[in-house]
Amino acid sequence: MKKDNIARKQQEKKKRMTIGLDLGDRSSRYCVLGEQGEVLSESSVPTTKKALAQTFGSKPRGRIALEVGTHSPWVSRCLTEMGHEVIVANARRVRLITDSSRKNDRLDAKTLARLARVDPELLSPIRHRSEQAQADLIVIRARAALIEVRTMLVNCARGLTKSYGERLRSCDPDQFRQELAGVLSKHLQDALKPLLAEVESVSKRIQEYDEQIENIAKSRYPETELLQQVHGVGILTSLTYVLTVEDPQRFRRSREVGAYFGLRPKQRESGDSQPQLRITKEGDAYVRKLLVQCSHYILGPFGQDSDLRRWGLKLAERGGKNAKKRAFVAVARKLAVLLHKLWITGEIYQPLYVQKRSDKAVA
């Protein structure tokens, strides 16, 4: 019996296939490699759940490599449910594909398959969030899109009035209503009232999203309250942070979170040369934007006294052309680490923990 099981396992290993899948919006190209690296088949498949199930559902379990993109979250979940080992490659780090002089869907699929067959770590694999987390995150992204639309409409209205020699009263975007046109001339009122009405309508939709985001945070993600202990971090930032990270145990150390969100400076050291470079800007750009906004508040006039604020102000006082900008980014990186630490430990946040510890040491 043992010999039969060993022979069966060896036979299954020989039949194990590696598949490279280059995702497209309408159709996707795939390449199937055998155990010895020979090309078994190449073809294309429509990028739909039904077509993928018909093509890969009947194949024996194998390793499938695909690039991260718009369709990669649902495609990876679909293929995993079929029993395949799915590797989602970080396209920014696969130089053999991005910098290739011969780039097309067929060759990309073959390159993905060969890299996955040799060593999956060469693809710098990433992990997609769950379906529920992605659905909740879509609410936040939809709100962000409306914010951009409202900003564009407000700037358009103000620019049009200035070009006519008049001005709209200064106010927050939430207070931008049709009544503001009352101080304008008749020609401008007739032209801008529909635009101001649209701004008011978008503001109402944003308020509805804010209520929905608050309900999601309180009902499904109570850990967001731990993150909101830091003065300057609200429901939107804490929920977006939790949904993006999803599993805090995926990081061995909290310090790795700063690099995960692209807040770590690039490194290009050679000998004695150690140039100062910009941050990598890898990871989620929206979370990075929210963290930087929080750092602006922490270092601003309304920020609460804390170890983080004192450290950031010291960086800003060092002088130099970009001292304040670097301080904002550095505080955002430390804030990302702090939020992760509060999340995994569940501790009560002490804004002046370092100061109190130093006072005790002196005493």
Window from 132-136, 339-343, 353-357 with minimum mean pLDDT: 353-357
Distances (CA, A) of 276 to 199, 262, 320: 43, 15, 14
pLDDT (mean) for 202-213: 96
Q: What is the DSSP string of 279-348?
A: B---S-HHHHHHHHHHHHHHHSTTPPP-HHHHHHHHHHTT-STTHHHHHHHHHHHHHHHHHHHHHHH-PP
Is a pLDDT exceeding 80 seen at residue 317? yes
Is a pLDDT exceeding 50 seen at residue 271? yes
pLDDT for position 100: 72
Contact 152, 194 (CB under 8 A): no
Comparing 102 with 336, the larger pLDDT belongs to 336
Distances (CA, A) of 184 to 71, 84, 190: 48, 64, 10
| DSSP-H helix ranges across the chain | 2-15, 49-56, 72-81, 95-98, 105-118, 131-163, 186-220, 224-227, 235-245, 256-260, 285-299, 307-316, 323-345, 353-362
pTM of structure: 0.85
Window from 38-47, 52-61, 92-101 with minimum mean pLDDT: 92-101
Window from 115-124, 203-212, 305-314 with minimum mean pLDDT: 115-124
Comparing 276 with 77, the larger pLDDT belongs to 77
Indicate if the alpha-carbon torsion angle 183, 189, 193, 195 is positive or negative. Answer: negative
Comparing 276 with 158, the larger pLDDT belongs to 158
pLDDT (mean) for 85-101: 80
Determine the residue type at 196: L
Contact 310, 331 (CB under 8 A): no
Is a pLDDT exceeding 90 seen at residue 11? no
Q: What is the pLDDT of residues 224-269, one digit of tens each?
A: 999 999 999 999 999 999 999 999 999 999 999 999 999 988 877 6
pLDDT for position 15: 57
Is a pLDDT exceeding 90 seen at residue 8? no
pLDDT for position 14: 46
pLDDT (mean) for 138-145: 97
pLDDT (mean) for 88-116: 83
pLDDT for position 255: 92
Q: What is the pLDDT of residues 170-195, one digit of tens each?
A: 888 888 888 888 888 888 888 899 99
pLDDT for position 363: 63
CA-nearest of 72, 60, 76, 71 to 18 is 60
**Chain center to CA of 119:** 26
Is a pLDDT exceeding 70 seen at residue 9? no
**pLDDT confidence of 157, banded at 50, 70, 90?**
very high
pLDDT (mean) for 151-168: 92
Question: Could you tell me the two tokens for 356?
Answer: 């109190």
Q: Return d(Cα 44, Cα 28) in angstroms, integer.
A: 5
**How does the average pLDDT of the chain come out, rounded?**
88
Q: Where are the domains of the chain?
A: 2-123, 131-220, 225-267+275-362
Is a pLDDT exceeding 60 seen at residue 13? no
Give helix 323-345 / helix 307-316 axis angle, nearest 10°. 160
Q: Could you tell me the CATH superfamily of domain 2-123?
A: YqgF/RNase H-like domain (3.30.420.140)
Within 15-92, strands assigned E span 18-22, 27-33, 39-46, 63-67, 85-89
